[in-house]
Amino acid sequence: MQKESDSMFPDRLRAIRRGRHITLDQLADDLNENLTPQEKPNTASQIGNWERGIRTPSYIEVRKLSEFFDVSLDYLTGKAELDEYDLGRLFLSGKRLTFNGDTLSSQDRYDVYQLIEGFMHGRESRREEVPIDHQEELDLGYDEPKS
């Protein structure tokens, strides 16, 4: 009997590829960029077979997909949901990060990482505050336009 998580891989792979507007040919080309001499190149047909559940990729192929799409192996195989992301991992990754359209430099990334790390480290020592009313406005320091 096939487990539900086994049948989730083809669906998740297809959904994440289509969600990022990547064709089967583009994905094959991207996966083939850094092949080792022992690896065989991926083809669009092969990936299509994975998405239809006709063939099952090797662990190495699933790991390459996981790294390419920046999702966990557990997510791709149906053992976890895609509902969290480790910010520390994101800031230390080589991915291009932007904030409100501005690209973060290496120094920006490091500074923001340090700010978050300090915040998380100090949160246990902060006193219990009044619960936040999620309906109140967040003041980002912008002045109201003057009429």
Distances (CA, A) of 140 to 117, 137, 143: 21, 9, 9
Last residue of a domain, one of 76, 101, 133: 76
In terms of Cβ atoms closer than 10 Å to its own Cβ (0-12, 13-18, 19+), residue 118 is exposed
Report the number of distinct structural domains present in the chain. 2
The amino acid sitting at 64 is K
Asked if residue 144 belongs to a domain, the reply is no
Asked if residue 95 belongs to a domain, the reply is yes
Structure tokens at 146: 């003057």
Q: Is the pLDDT of residue 147 over 80?
A: no
Query: Are 95 and 42 contained in the same domain?
Result: no
Query: Are 36 and 92 contained in the same domain?
Result: no
Query: Are 100 and 59 contained in the same domain?
Result: no
Asked if residue 55 belongs to a domain, the reply is yes
Q: Is the pLDDT of residue 5 over 60?
A: no
Residue ranges making up the domain that contains 26: 4-76
Strand-strand pairing, 98-99 and 102-103: antiparallel
Work out the mean pLDDT of the chain and round it to a whole number. 81
In which band, very low, low, confident or very high, does the pLDDT at 2 lie, cut at 50, 70 and 90?
very low
CB 92, CB 43: distance < 8 Å = no
Q: Reduced to 3 DSSP states, what percent helix, strand and coil does the chain have, rounded to the nearest 5?
A: 50, 5, 50
Asked if residue 72 belongs to a domain, the reply is yes
Q: Is the pLDDT of residue 46 over 90?
A: yes
In terms of Cβ atoms closer than 10 Å to its own Cβ (0-12, 13-18, 19+), residue 76 is buried
Q: Is the pLDDT of residue 45 over 90?
A: yes
Asked if residue 133 belongs to a domain, the reply is no
Interval 50-68 mean pLDDT: 93
CB 50, CB 13: distance < 8 Å = yes
More confident residue, 138 or 106: 106
* pLDDT value at residue 132: 58
User: DSSP state, 120?
Assistant: H
Query: Are 71 and 9 contained in the same domain?
Result: yes
The reply to whether the predicted model has a pTM over 0.95 is no
Query: Are 70 and 93 contained in the same domain?
Result: no
